[in-house]
Chains A and B, each alone.
Chain A
Amino acid sequence: MVGARGGLKLQGLVKRFGALAAVDGVDLELPAGQLISFLGPSGCGKTTLLRMIAGLEQPTQGRILVDDEDVTDQPPHVRDMGMVFQSLALFPHLTVAGNIGYAMRIRGVAKDRIRERVDELLTLVSLGGLADRRISQLSGGQRQRVATARALALEPRLFLLDEPLSALDANLREQLQVELRLLQQKLGITTIMVTHDQREAMTMSDLVVVMNAGRIEQIGGPLDVYRRPASSFVARFIGTTNLLTATRGSDGVLRVAGREFAVSGDGVAGDVVLSVRPEDAHLALEAPAERNALPGTVVFVRDLGEMFECYVDCGLDANVIVAGSPRERVQVQQGQHVTVSFPAESCIVVSGDEHA
Protein backbone atom coordinates (compact mmCIF):
# COMPACT_ATOMS: atom_id res chain seq x y z
CA MET A 1 0.00 0.00 0.00
CA VAL A 2 1.64 3.16 -1.17
CA GLY A 3 1.78 5.95 1.35
CA ALA A 4 0.61 3.79 4.24
CA ARG A 5 2.19 4.65 7.57
CA GLY A 6 3.72 2.33 10.10
CA GLY A 7 6.39 0.42 8.26
CA LEU A 8 8.37 -1.30 11.00
CA LYS A 9 12.03 -2.29 11.03
CA LEU A 10 13.45 -4.31 13.92
CA GLN A 11 17.22 -4.61 13.91
CA GLY A 12 19.08 -7.08 16.06
CA LEU A 13 16.64 -6.88 18.95
CA VAL A 14 17.66 -8.64 22.13
CA LYS A 15 15.93 -8.46 25.51
CA ARG A 16 17.46 -10.08 28.53
CA PHE A 17 15.91 -10.43 31.97
CA GLY A 18 18.87 -11.38 34.10
CA ALA A 19 20.35 -14.46 32.49
CA LEU A 20 17.22 -15.23 30.50
CA ALA A 21 17.00 -13.92 26.91
CA ALA A 22 13.31 -13.43 26.24
CA VAL A 23 14.06 -12.08 22.79
CA ASP A 24 17.25 -13.44 21.33
CA GLY A 25 18.15 -11.63 18.16
CA VAL A 26 15.21 -10.55 16.04
CA ASP A 27 15.61 -8.90 12.65
CA LEU A 28 12.38 -8.06 10.94
CA GLU A 29 11.09 -5.78 8.27
CA LEU A 30 7.32 -5.44 8.30
CA PRO A 31 5.26 -3.70 5.62
CA ALA A 32 2.86 -0.92 6.43
CA GLY A 33 -0.90 -1.23 6.30
CA GLN A 34 -1.07 -4.95 7.00
CA LEU A 35 -2.18 -7.14 9.90
CA ILE A 36 0.80 -9.06 11.17
CA SER A 37 0.55 -11.75 13.83
CA PHE A 38 3.30 -12.72 16.23
CA LEU A 39 2.44 -16.35 16.87
CA GLY A 40 4.01 -18.80 19.25
CA PRO A 41 3.69 -20.74 22.51
CA SER A 42 3.83 -18.93 25.86
CA GLY A 43 7.30 -17.79 26.76
CA CYS A 44 8.43 -17.50 23.15
CA GLY A 45 9.03 -13.77 23.47
CA LYS A 46 6.20 -12.48 21.32
CA THR A 47 4.70 -10.28 24.03
CA THR A 48 8.12 -8.95 25.01
CA LEU A 49 8.73 -8.06 21.39
CA LEU A 50 5.43 -6.21 21.19
CA ARG A 51 6.12 -4.34 24.41
CA MET A 52 9.47 -3.22 23.08
CA ILE A 53 7.76 -1.86 19.99
CA ALA A 54 5.38 -0.04 22.32
CA GLY A 55 8.20 1.29 24.45
CA LEU A 56 7.05 -0.46 27.61
CA GLU A 57 10.26 -2.45 27.68
CA GLN A 58 13.72 -1.22 26.77
CA PRO A 59 15.69 -3.51 24.46
CA THR A 60 18.99 -4.76 25.80
CA GLN A 61 20.37 -4.45 22.30
CA GLY A 62 19.08 -3.42 18.91
CA ARG A 63 17.08 -0.68 17.27
CA ILE A 64 13.45 -0.15 16.38
CA LEU A 65 12.51 2.03 13.43
CA VAL A 66 9.02 3.16 12.51
CA ASP A 67 8.79 4.67 9.03
CA ASP A 68 12.59 4.84 9.14
CA GLU A 69 12.52 6.93 12.32
CA ASP A 70 14.54 5.50 15.22
CA VAL A 71 12.14 5.30 18.16
CA THR A 72 14.19 2.96 20.35
CA ASP A 73 14.87 5.57 23.00
CA GLN A 74 11.46 7.19 22.97
CA PRO A 75 9.26 6.64 26.04
CA PRO A 76 5.84 5.15 25.33
CA HIS A 77 3.86 8.32 25.77
CA VAL A 78 5.47 10.06 22.83
CA ARG A 79 5.21 7.16 20.40
CA ASP A 80 2.42 7.34 17.91
CA MET A 81 0.52 4.16 18.61
CA GLY A 82 -2.56 2.61 20.10
CA MET A 83 -2.47 -0.55 22.17
CA VAL A 84 -5.03 -3.05 23.37
CA PHE A 85 -3.91 -5.05 26.39
CA GLN A 86 -4.81 -8.60 27.27
CA SER A 87 -6.77 -7.47 30.30
CA LEU A 88 -8.21 -4.64 28.20
CA ALA A 89 -7.22 -2.24 31.01
CA LEU A 90 -10.28 -0.03 30.66
CA PHE A 91 -10.29 2.83 33.17
CA PRO A 92 -12.91 1.78 35.71
CA HIS A 93 -13.52 5.29 36.99
CA LEU A 94 -14.37 6.73 33.54
CA THR A 95 -17.37 6.12 31.34
CA VAL A 96 -17.15 4.66 27.86
CA ALA A 97 -16.84 8.17 26.44
CA GLY A 98 -14.28 9.05 29.09
CA ASN A 99 -12.16 6.08 28.13
CA ILE A 100 -12.32 6.65 24.41
CA GLY A 101 -11.75 10.38 24.74
CA TYR A 102 -8.89 10.07 27.21
CA ALA A 103 -6.06 10.56 24.74
CA MET A 104 -7.68 13.69 23.38
CA ARG A 105 -8.56 15.04 26.80
CA ILE A 106 -5.01 14.97 28.08
CA ARG A 107 -3.88 16.77 24.92
CA GLY A 108 -6.31 19.57 25.62
CA VAL A 109 -8.62 19.00 22.68
CA ALA A 110 -11.89 20.96 22.84
CA LYS A 111 -14.79 19.17 24.52
CA ASP A 112 -17.18 19.25 21.58
CA ARG A 113 -14.50 18.01 19.23
CA ILE A 114 -13.86 15.11 21.63
CA ARG A 115 -17.54 14.30 21.77
CA GLU A 116 -17.77 14.28 17.97
CA ARG A 117 -14.82 11.98 17.58
CA VAL A 118 -16.06 9.66 20.36
CA ASP A 119 -19.39 9.29 18.57
CA GLU A 120 -17.56 8.59 15.29
CA LEU A 121 -15.53 5.86 16.93
CA LEU A 122 -18.52 4.35 18.70
CA THR A 123 -20.27 4.02 15.35
CA LEU A 124 -17.14 2.52 13.86
CA VAL A 125 -17.10 -0.29 16.42
CA SER A 126 -20.89 -0.66 16.49
CA LEU A 127 -21.38 0.66 19.98
CA GLY A 128 -23.41 3.73 19.12
CA GLY A 129 -25.39 5.18 22.02
CA LEU A 130 -23.32 3.66 24.79
CA ALA A 131 -21.19 6.74 25.41
CA ASP A 132 -22.33 7.33 28.96
CA ARG A 133 -22.30 3.77 30.22
CA ARG A 134 -20.04 2.72 33.04
CA ILE A 135 -17.47 0.07 32.23
CA SER A 136 -18.89 -2.32 34.79
CA GLN A 137 -22.18 -2.39 32.91
CA LEU A 138 -20.66 -3.67 29.67
CA SER A 139 -20.43 -7.21 28.38
CA GLY A 140 -17.12 -8.80 27.41
CA GLY A 141 -17.56 -8.12 23.74
CA GLN A 142 -18.58 -4.51 24.34
CA ARG A 143 -15.53 -3.93 26.52
CA GLN A 144 -13.29 -5.29 23.81
CA ARG A 145 -14.74 -2.85 21.33
CA VAL A 146 -14.30 0.07 23.72
CA ALA A 147 -10.65 -0.86 24.20
CA THR A 148 -10.25 -0.93 20.42
CA ALA A 149 -11.97 2.42 19.94
CA ARG A 150 -9.84 3.98 22.66
CA ALA A 151 -6.63 2.82 21.03
CA LEU A 152 -7.65 4.13 17.61
CA ALA A 153 -8.92 7.51 18.78
CA LEU A 154 -6.00 9.52 17.43
CA GLU A 155 -5.48 7.48 14.26
CA PRO A 156 -2.05 6.20 15.31
CA ARG A 157 0.32 4.75 12.76
CA LEU A 158 0.72 1.52 14.76
CA PHE A 159 -2.08 -0.55 16.24
CA LEU A 160 -0.75 -3.08 18.75
CA LEU A 161 -2.79 -5.91 20.21
CA ASP A 162 -1.64 -8.23 23.01
CA GLU A 163 -3.84 -11.35 22.97
CA PRO A 164 -6.85 -9.06 22.75
CA LEU A 165 -9.49 -11.75 22.54
CA SER A 166 -8.18 -14.26 25.06
CA ALA A 167 -10.63 -13.21 27.78
CA LEU A 168 -13.68 -13.97 25.63
CA ASP A 169 -15.51 -17.22 25.14
CA ALA A 170 -15.09 -19.15 21.91
CA ASN A 171 -18.11 -17.99 19.90
CA LEU A 172 -17.60 -14.32 20.73
CA ARG A 173 -13.92 -14.65 19.95
CA GLU A 174 -14.51 -15.92 16.45
CA GLN A 175 -17.04 -13.17 15.78
CA LEU A 176 -14.68 -10.47 17.00
CA GLN A 177 -11.80 -11.90 15.01
CA VAL A 178 -13.74 -11.19 11.87
CA GLU A 179 -14.84 -7.75 13.08
CA LEU A 180 -11.33 -6.69 14.02
CA ARG A 181 -9.96 -7.86 10.71
CA LEU A 182 -12.64 -6.01 8.74
CA LEU A 183 -11.98 -2.88 10.79
CA GLN A 184 -8.27 -3.09 10.14
CA GLN A 185 -8.81 -3.49 6.44
CA LYS A 186 -11.21 -0.57 6.36
CA LEU A 187 -8.76 1.74 8.12
CA GLY A 188 -5.68 0.32 6.42
CA ILE A 189 -3.78 0.67 9.68
CA THR A 190 -0.53 -1.22 10.37
CA THR A 191 -1.52 -3.77 12.98
CA ILE A 192 0.62 -6.13 15.03
CA MET A 193 -1.19 -8.78 17.01
CA VAL A 194 0.26 -11.19 19.52
CA THR A 195 -1.54 -14.49 19.85
CA HIS A 196 -0.93 -18.09 20.84
CA ASP A 197 -3.98 -19.26 18.92
CA GLN A 198 -2.90 -20.31 15.48
CA ARG A 199 -6.42 -20.36 14.14
CA GLU A 200 -6.79 -16.74 15.16
CA ALA A 201 -3.57 -15.89 13.37
CA MET A 202 -4.68 -17.77 10.29
CA THR A 203 -8.07 -16.06 10.25
CA MET A 204 -6.92 -12.49 10.58
CA SER A 205 -3.40 -12.06 9.26
CA ASP A 206 -1.77 -10.89 6.11
CA LEU A 207 1.53 -12.09 7.53
CA VAL A 208 2.37 -14.57 10.27
CA VAL A 209 5.60 -14.41 12.26
CA VAL A 210 6.11 -17.71 14.08
CA MET A 211 8.33 -17.41 17.13
CA ASN A 212 9.96 -19.86 19.45
CA ALA A 213 12.36 -19.36 22.35
CA GLY A 214 13.01 -15.72 21.50
CA ARG A 215 13.75 -16.30 17.84
CA ILE A 216 11.79 -16.18 14.63
CA GLU A 217 11.10 -19.60 13.14
CA GLN A 218 9.30 -18.51 9.99
CA ILE A 219 7.60 -15.56 8.34
CA GLY A 220 5.01 -15.88 5.67
CA GLY A 221 1.40 -15.66 4.69
CA PRO A 222 -0.89 -17.92 6.71
CA LEU A 223 -1.36 -20.56 4.06
CA ASP A 224 2.35 -20.56 3.15
CA VAL A 225 3.27 -21.20 6.72
CA TYR A 226 0.68 -23.92 6.92
CA ARG A 227 1.49 -25.72 3.69
CA ARG A 228 5.25 -25.25 3.71
CA PRO A 229 6.42 -25.21 7.31
CA ALA A 230 10.11 -24.44 7.57
CA SER A 231 10.74 -26.61 10.61
CA SER A 232 9.08 -29.37 12.59
CA PHE A 233 8.28 -26.82 15.28
CA VAL A 234 6.25 -24.74 12.87
CA ALA A 235 4.69 -27.86 11.39
CA ARG A 236 3.56 -29.01 14.84
CA PHE A 237 2.52 -25.62 16.12
CA ILE A 238 0.32 -24.73 13.17
CA GLY A 239 -2.45 -27.28 13.02
CA THR A 240 -1.76 -30.93 13.49
CA THR A 241 0.68 -32.88 11.44
CA ASN A 242 2.27 -36.27 11.06
CA LEU A 243 6.01 -36.19 11.46
CA LEU A 244 7.76 -39.11 9.73
CA THR A 245 11.43 -39.86 10.22
CA ALA A 246 13.00 -40.83 6.92
CA THR A 247 16.43 -42.41 6.68
CA ARG A 248 18.49 -42.14 3.55
CA GLY A 249 19.95 -45.38 2.36
CA SER A 250 23.29 -45.77 0.60
CA ASP A 251 21.40 -45.71 -2.66
CA GLY A 252 20.22 -42.17 -1.90
CA VAL A 253 16.61 -43.26 -1.48
CA LEU A 254 14.51 -42.07 1.45
CA ARG A 255 12.78 -44.72 3.46
CA VAL A 256 10.20 -44.51 6.23
CA ALA A 257 9.96 -47.68 8.30
CA GLY A 258 11.71 -49.49 5.54
CA ARG A 259 9.39 -48.38 2.77
CA GLU A 260 10.46 -46.05 -0.03
CA PHE A 261 9.19 -42.47 0.04
CA ALA A 262 9.35 -39.76 -2.62
CA VAL A 263 9.01 -36.25 -1.39
CA SER A 264 8.44 -32.74 -2.68
CA GLY A 265 11.34 -30.37 -2.87
CA ASP A 266 14.04 -32.68 -1.56
CA GLY A 267 17.25 -30.73 -1.68
CA VAL A 268 18.64 -32.00 1.56
CA ALA A 269 21.21 -34.74 1.98
CA GLY A 270 21.06 -37.35 4.71
CA ASP A 271 18.18 -38.21 7.02
CA VAL A 272 15.19 -35.89 7.14
CA VAL A 273 11.88 -35.40 8.90
CA LEU A 274 8.76 -35.28 6.75
CA SER A 275 5.61 -33.42 7.65
CA VAL A 276 2.32 -34.59 6.19
CA ARG A 277 -0.97 -32.96 7.18
CA PRO A 278 -3.70 -35.41 8.23
CA GLU A 279 -6.05 -34.16 5.55
CA ASP A 280 -3.44 -34.93 2.89
CA ALA A 281 -3.06 -38.55 3.96
CA HIS A 282 -5.48 -41.17 2.63
CA LEU A 283 -6.93 -44.37 3.99
CA ALA A 284 -7.40 -47.44 1.82
CA LEU A 285 -8.27 -51.07 2.37
CA GLU A 286 -6.00 -52.48 -0.32
CA ALA A 287 -2.46 -53.54 0.20
CA PRO A 288 0.07 -50.70 0.28
CA ALA A 289 1.62 -49.44 -2.95
CA GLU A 290 5.35 -49.56 -3.56
CA ARG A 291 6.03 -46.00 -2.63
CA ASN A 292 4.66 -43.47 -0.11
CA ALA A 293 2.42 -45.90 1.72
CA LEU A 294 2.46 -47.63 5.08
CA PRO A 295 0.44 -50.55 6.42
CA GLY A 296 -1.12 -50.21 9.82
CA THR A 297 -3.88 -51.04 12.31
CA VAL A 298 -6.71 -48.70 13.21
CA VAL A 299 -6.37 -47.68 16.85
CA PHE A 300 -9.18 -45.15 17.17
CA VAL A 301 -11.81 -43.43 15.01
CA ARG A 302 -13.14 -39.99 15.79
CA ASP A 303 -16.26 -39.26 13.82
CA LEU A 304 -17.29 -35.70 14.51
CA GLY A 305 -20.05 -35.46 11.96
CA GLU A 306 -18.53 -32.56 10.07
CA MET A 307 -15.20 -34.36 9.75
CA PHE A 308 -13.51 -37.55 10.89
CA GLU A 309 -10.12 -38.47 12.25
CA CYS A 310 -8.55 -41.88 12.21
CA TYR A 311 -5.59 -42.87 14.38
CA VAL A 312 -3.52 -45.63 12.78
CA ASP A 313 -0.63 -47.49 14.32
CA CYS A 314 1.97 -47.93 11.56
CA GLY A 315 4.76 -48.99 13.82
CA LEU A 316 6.20 -45.47 14.09
CA ASP A 317 6.87 -43.45 17.26
CA ALA A 318 3.44 -41.89 17.17
CA ASN A 319 0.14 -42.89 15.67
CA VAL A 320 -0.52 -41.59 12.18
CA ILE A 321 -3.56 -39.34 11.95
CA VAL A 322 -5.69 -39.33 8.86
CA ALA A 323 -8.44 -36.74 8.61
CA GLY A 324 -11.08 -35.93 6.09
CA SER A 325 -14.63 -34.90 5.32
CA PRO A 326 -17.52 -37.37 5.73
CA ARG A 327 -17.69 -37.89 1.99
CA GLU A 328 -14.20 -39.35 1.91
CA ARG A 329 -14.87 -41.63 4.84
CA VAL A 330 -13.66 -45.10 4.31
CA GLN A 331 -15.61 -47.39 6.60
CA VAL A 332 -13.13 -48.77 9.08
CA GLN A 333 -13.29 -50.06 12.61
CA GLN A 334 -10.90 -50.35 15.47
CA GLY A 335 -8.43 -53.16 14.94
CA GLN A 336 -8.85 -53.26 11.19
CA HIS A 337 -5.79 -53.48 8.93
CA VAL A 338 -5.53 -50.57 6.56
CA THR A 339 -3.09 -48.75 4.32
CA VAL A 340 -2.20 -45.09 4.74
CA SER A 341 -0.85 -43.35 1.66
CA PHE A 342 1.11 -40.09 1.68
CA PRO A 343 1.15 -38.36 -1.74
CA ALA A 344 4.66 -37.14 -2.61
CA GLU A 345 3.64 -33.51 -3.13
CA SER A 346 2.24 -33.41 0.41
CA CYS A 347 5.42 -34.69 2.05
CA ILE A 348 7.22 -31.56 3.18
CA VAL A 349 10.79 -31.77 4.30
CA VAL A 350 11.19 -29.88 7.57
CA SER A 351 14.49 -29.31 9.31
CA GLY A 352 15.94 -32.41 10.92
CA ASP A 353 15.68 -31.32 14.54
CA GLU A 354 13.00 -33.32 16.28
CA HIS A 355 13.00 -31.32 19.46
CA ALA A 356 12.10 -27.88 18.16
Chain B
Amino acid sequence: MVLAFPLVMLAIFFVAPFAIMIAYSFYRRIPGGFYEPAFDVGSWKRLFEPVFLDRAAFSIGISLLAGAVCIAVAFPFTFFLTRMRRRPQVALLILVLSALSLSEVIVGFAWSVLLGRASGISNILVWLGLMDEPRAYQPGFLAVLLGLSYIAFPFCVLTLYPPLSRLDREVTEAAQTLGASPWKTFRTVVLPIMRPTLVAGFLLVFVFTLGSYLIASILGRPEHWTLSVFISDQASFNANVPFAAAMALFLTILSLVVVGVVILIESRTRDAS
Protein backbone atom coordinates (compact mmCIF):
# COMPACT_ATOMS: atom_id res chain seq x y z
CA MET B 1 0.00 0.00 0.00
CA VAL B 2 1.14 3.48 -0.83
CA LEU B 3 0.52 4.48 2.75
CA ALA B 4 3.38 2.28 3.84
CA PHE B 5 6.23 4.48 2.67
CA PRO B 6 5.47 7.72 4.51
CA LEU B 7 4.27 5.87 7.56
CA VAL B 8 7.44 3.87 7.74
CA MET B 9 9.50 7.02 7.39
CA LEU B 10 7.52 8.75 10.12
CA ALA B 11 7.77 5.71 12.34
CA ILE B 12 11.49 5.33 11.94
CA PHE B 13 12.43 8.94 12.10
CA PHE B 14 9.94 10.28 14.52
CA VAL B 15 8.49 7.64 16.76
CA ALA B 16 11.80 5.85 17.09
CA PRO B 17 13.78 8.91 18.18
CA PHE B 18 11.13 9.67 20.76
CA ALA B 19 11.33 6.16 22.09
CA ILE B 20 15.11 6.25 22.08
CA MET B 21 15.02 9.59 23.85
CA ILE B 22 12.90 8.13 26.60
CA ALA B 23 15.37 5.29 26.95
CA TYR B 24 18.34 7.62 26.99
CA SER B 25 16.87 9.73 29.74
CA PHE B 26 17.38 6.83 32.04
CA TYR B 27 21.01 6.25 31.12
CA ARG B 28 23.66 6.92 33.67
CA ARG B 29 26.06 9.76 33.18
CA ILE B 30 29.70 8.93 33.56
CA PRO B 31 31.63 11.89 34.85
CA GLY B 32 34.07 13.02 32.23
CA GLY B 33 31.72 13.17 29.35
CA PHE B 34 29.92 10.01 28.38
CA TYR B 35 27.05 7.83 29.41
CA GLU B 36 26.20 4.18 29.59
CA PRO B 37 22.98 2.27 29.20
CA ALA B 38 21.29 1.91 32.56
CA PHE B 39 18.11 2.55 34.36
CA ASP B 40 19.14 5.53 36.40
CA VAL B 41 16.65 8.15 37.47
CA GLY B 42 19.46 10.51 38.33
CA SER B 43 18.68 12.76 35.39
CA TRP B 44 15.04 12.87 36.29
CA LYS B 45 15.86 13.70 39.87
CA ARG B 46 17.87 16.72 38.78
CA LEU B 47 14.74 18.08 37.20
CA PHE B 48 13.42 18.89 40.62
CA GLU B 49 16.35 21.00 41.70
CA PRO B 50 15.45 24.66 42.17
CA VAL B 51 17.90 25.72 39.46
CA PHE B 52 16.05 23.77 36.90
CA LEU B 53 12.57 24.54 38.14
CA ASP B 54 13.44 28.23 38.09
CA ARG B 55 14.49 27.94 34.50
CA ALA B 56 11.31 26.11 33.60
CA ALA B 57 9.13 28.70 35.31
CA PHE B 58 10.97 31.51 33.58
CA SER B 59 10.61 29.86 30.17
CA ILE B 60 6.91 29.32 30.60
CA GLY B 61 6.49 32.82 31.94
CA ILE B 62 8.26 34.63 29.16
CA SER B 63 6.53 32.58 26.51
CA LEU B 64 3.11 33.33 27.95
CA LEU B 65 4.05 36.99 28.10
CA ALA B 66 5.25 36.97 24.50
CA GLY B 67 1.99 35.31 23.52
CA ALA B 68 -0.06 37.96 25.26
CA VAL B 69 1.95 40.83 23.78
CA CYS B 70 1.83 39.41 20.28
CA ILE B 71 -1.88 38.82 20.30
CA ALA B 72 -2.61 42.16 21.91
CA VAL B 73 -0.82 43.96 19.09
CA ALA B 74 -1.46 41.60 16.18
CA PHE B 75 -5.20 41.45 16.71
CA PRO B 76 -6.02 45.14 16.22
CA PHE B 77 -3.31 45.44 13.60
CA THR B 78 -4.68 42.58 11.51
CA PHE B 79 -8.21 43.82 12.03
CA PHE B 80 -7.35 47.18 10.54
CA LEU B 81 -5.23 45.50 7.91
CA THR B 82 -8.15 43.51 6.55
CA ARG B 83 -10.16 46.65 6.13
CA MET B 84 -7.62 48.52 4.08
CA ARG B 85 -7.72 49.00 0.37
CA ARG B 86 -6.06 46.35 -1.72
CA ARG B 87 -2.73 48.02 -2.46
CA PRO B 88 -1.79 49.05 1.09
CA GLN B 89 -2.96 45.66 2.33
CA VAL B 90 -0.69 43.84 -0.09
CA ALA B 91 2.23 46.11 0.71
CA LEU B 92 1.91 45.54 4.45
CA LEU B 93 1.55 41.82 3.97
CA ILE B 94 4.73 41.74 1.93
CA LEU B 95 6.45 43.51 4.82
CA VAL B 96 5.10 40.97 7.29
CA LEU B 97 6.08 38.05 5.08
CA SER B 98 9.57 39.45 4.59
CA ALA B 99 10.00 39.70 8.34
CA LEU B 100 8.80 36.13 8.52
CA SER B 101 11.46 34.83 6.20
CA LEU B 102 14.27 36.19 8.28
CA SER B 103 16.04 33.50 10.17
CA GLU B 104 16.02 33.64 13.94
CA VAL B 105 19.74 34.26 14.13
CA ILE B 106 19.47 37.29 11.88
CA VAL B 107 16.59 38.67 13.90
CA GLY B 108 18.65 38.19 17.05
CA PHE B 109 21.57 39.92 15.43
CA ALA B 110 19.48 42.84 14.22
CA TRP B 111 17.93 43.47 17.61
CA SER B 112 21.29 43.15 19.32
CA VAL B 113 22.52 45.99 17.15
CA LEU B 114 19.33 48.01 17.53
CA LEU B 115 19.43 47.78 21.28
CA GLY B 116 23.16 47.93 21.59
CA ARG B 117 25.35 50.79 22.67
CA ALA B 118 27.32 51.23 19.46
CA SER B 119 24.74 52.07 16.84
CA GLY B 120 21.29 51.54 18.15
CA ILE B 121 18.27 53.39 19.37
CA SER B 122 20.09 55.02 22.22
CA ASN B 123 22.62 56.51 19.82
CA ILE B 124 19.81 58.10 17.86
CA LEU B 125 18.34 59.48 21.05
CA VAL B 126 21.72 60.91 22.06
CA TRP B 127 22.12 62.41 18.62
CA LEU B 128 18.69 64.01 18.97
CA GLY B 129 19.71 65.33 22.34
CA LEU B 130 17.12 63.34 24.26
CA MET B 131 19.65 61.28 26.15
CA ASP B 132 23.03 62.01 27.68
CA GLU B 133 24.96 58.96 26.71
CA PRO B 134 24.23 55.75 24.83
CA ARG B 135 23.05 52.71 26.76
CA ALA B 136 22.83 49.09 25.91
CA TYR B 137 19.43 47.51 26.36
CA GLN B 138 20.75 44.11 25.50
CA PRO B 139 21.42 41.53 26.73
CA GLY B 140 18.34 41.87 28.90
CA PHE B 141 14.85 40.70 29.59
CA LEU B 142 13.21 43.33 27.40
CA ALA B 143 15.54 42.46 24.53
CA VAL B 144 14.58 38.82 24.69
CA LEU B 145 10.89 39.68 24.87
CA LEU B 146 11.14 42.00 21.89
CA GLY B 147 13.10 39.44 19.92
CA LEU B 148 10.60 36.69 20.65
CA SER B 149 7.72 38.96 19.76
CA TYR B 150 9.37 39.87 16.49
CA ILE B 151 9.74 36.33 15.27
CA ALA B 152 6.29 35.30 16.46
CA PHE B 153 4.43 38.37 15.21
CA PRO B 154 4.20 37.44 11.51
CA PHE B 155 2.82 34.00 12.41
CA CYS B 156 0.20 35.68 14.52
CA VAL B 157 -0.84 37.99 11.74
CA LEU B 158 -1.04 35.19 9.20
CA THR B 159 -3.13 33.08 11.55
CA LEU B 160 -5.56 35.89 12.34
CA TYR B 161 -5.79 37.11 8.77
CA PRO B 162 -8.24 34.61 7.19
CA PRO B 163 -10.87 34.69 9.94
CA LEU B 164 -10.67 38.45 10.36
CA SER B 165 -10.98 39.08 6.66
CA ARG B 166 -13.98 36.80 6.56
CA LEU B 167 -15.62 38.58 9.45
CA ASP B 168 -18.82 39.88 8.02
CA ARG B 169 -18.71 43.67 8.08
CA GLU B 170 -22.42 43.77 8.24
CA VAL B 171 -22.31 42.13 11.63
CA THR B 172 -20.57 45.13 13.13
CA GLU B 173 -22.80 47.48 11.17
CA ALA B 174 -25.87 45.71 12.51
CA ALA B 175 -24.59 46.12 16.05
CA GLN B 176 -24.11 49.82 15.48
CA THR B 177 -27.63 50.27 14.12
CA LEU B 178 -28.78 48.65 17.36
CA GLY B 179 -27.01 51.37 19.31
CA ALA B 180 -23.59 49.97 20.16
CA SER B 181 -20.66 52.36 20.09
CA PRO B 182 -17.56 51.20 18.17
CA TRP B 183 -15.86 50.19 21.41
CA LYS B 184 -18.91 48.31 22.64
CA THR B 185 -19.31 46.63 19.28
CA PHE B 186 -15.75 45.48 19.51
CA ARG B 187 -16.19 44.14 23.04
CA THR B 188 -19.55 42.45 22.65
CA VAL B 189 -19.50 41.33 19.03
CA VAL B 190 -16.06 41.12 17.44
CA LEU B 191 -14.19 39.77 20.45
CA PRO B 192 -16.54 36.87 21.22
CA ILE B 193 -16.65 35.83 17.59
CA MET B 194 -12.88 35.90 17.26
CA ARG B 195 -12.20 34.31 20.60
CA PRO B 196 -11.29 30.77 19.50
CA THR B 197 -8.93 32.16 16.90
CA LEU B 198 -7.29 34.44 19.45
CA VAL B 199 -6.75 31.56 21.82
CA ALA B 200 -5.31 29.49 19.01
CA GLY B 201 -2.97 32.32 18.07
CA PHE B 202 -1.90 32.77 21.67
CA LEU B 203 -1.09 29.09 22.01
CA LEU B 204 0.75 29.18 18.73
CA VAL B 205 3.02 31.96 19.95
CA PHE B 206 3.46 30.24 23.30
CA VAL B 207 4.61 26.96 21.83
CA PHE B 208 6.67 28.69 19.18
CA THR B 209 8.59 30.93 21.56
CA LEU B 210 9.04 28.14 24.06
CA GLY B 211 11.12 26.39 21.45
CA SER B 212 13.28 29.36 20.64
CA TYR B 213 16.98 28.88 21.21
CA LEU B 214 18.79 31.58 19.33
CA ILE B 215 16.91 34.66 20.49
CA ALA B 216 17.41 33.86 24.15
CA SER B 217 21.08 33.05 23.60
CA ILE B 218 21.86 36.19 21.69
CA LEU B 219 19.72 38.73 23.46
CA GLY B 220 19.69 37.43 27.01
CA ARG B 221 22.06 37.08 29.89
CA PRO B 222 22.34 33.59 31.38
CA GLU B 223 19.53 34.32 33.77
CA HIS B 224 17.31 34.96 30.77
CA TRP B 225 18.16 31.77 29.01
CA THR B 226 15.17 29.57 28.31
CA LEU B 227 14.89 25.84 28.77
CA SER B 228 15.63 25.26 25.12
CA VAL B 229 19.03 26.89 25.55
CA PHE B 230 19.70 24.84 28.64
CA ILE B 231 18.77 21.62 26.94
CA SER B 232 20.83 22.13 23.82
CA ASP B 233 23.86 23.24 25.80
CA GLN B 234 23.61 20.11 27.93
CA ALA B 235 23.30 17.98 24.85
CA SER B 236 26.14 19.52 22.90
CA PHE B 237 28.75 21.17 25.07
CA ASN B 238 28.32 19.06 28.16
CA ALA B 239 27.60 15.90 26.23
CA ASN B 240 25.13 15.10 28.98
CA VAL B 241 22.59 13.56 26.72
CA PRO B 242 20.64 11.70 29.41
CA PHE B 243 19.95 14.91 31.26
CA ALA B 244 19.14 16.72 28.04
CA ALA B 245 16.76 13.97 27.05
CA ALA B 246 15.04 14.07 30.43
CA MET B 247 14.66 17.84 30.18
CA ALA B 248 13.37 17.64 26.66
CA LEU B 249 10.70 15.15 27.65
CA PHE B 250 9.83 17.32 30.61
CA LEU B 251 9.49 20.31 28.32
CA THR B 252 7.19 18.35 26.04
CA ILE B 253 4.95 17.33 28.90
CA LEU B 254 4.97 20.86 30.28
CA SER B 255 3.96 22.40 26.94
CA LEU B 256 1.16 19.90 26.47
CA VAL B 257 -0.08 20.58 29.99
CA VAL B 258 -0.10 24.34 29.55
CA VAL B 259 -1.83 24.05 26.17
CA GLY B 260 -4.36 21.68 27.69
CA VAL B 261 -5.03 24.00 30.62
CA VAL B 262 -5.55 27.01 28.38
CA ILE B 263 -7.94 25.09 26.13
CA LEU B 264 -9.80 23.88 29.20
CA ILE B 265 -10.16 27.38 30.61
CA GLU B 266 -11.27 28.66 27.24
CA SER B 267 -14.01 26.09 26.81
CA ARG B 268 -15.18 26.50 30.40
CA THR B 269 -15.56 30.26 30.12
CA ARG B 270 -17.13 29.87 26.71
CA ASP B 271 -19.81 27.58 28.09
CA ALA B 272 -20.37 29.95 30.96
CA SER B 273 -20.90 33.05 28.82
Are A and B in contact, CB atoms below 8 Å, in the complex?
A: no
Question: Which residues of A pack against B, CB within 8 Å?
Answer: none
Question: Which residues of B pack against A, CB within 8 Å?
Answer: none
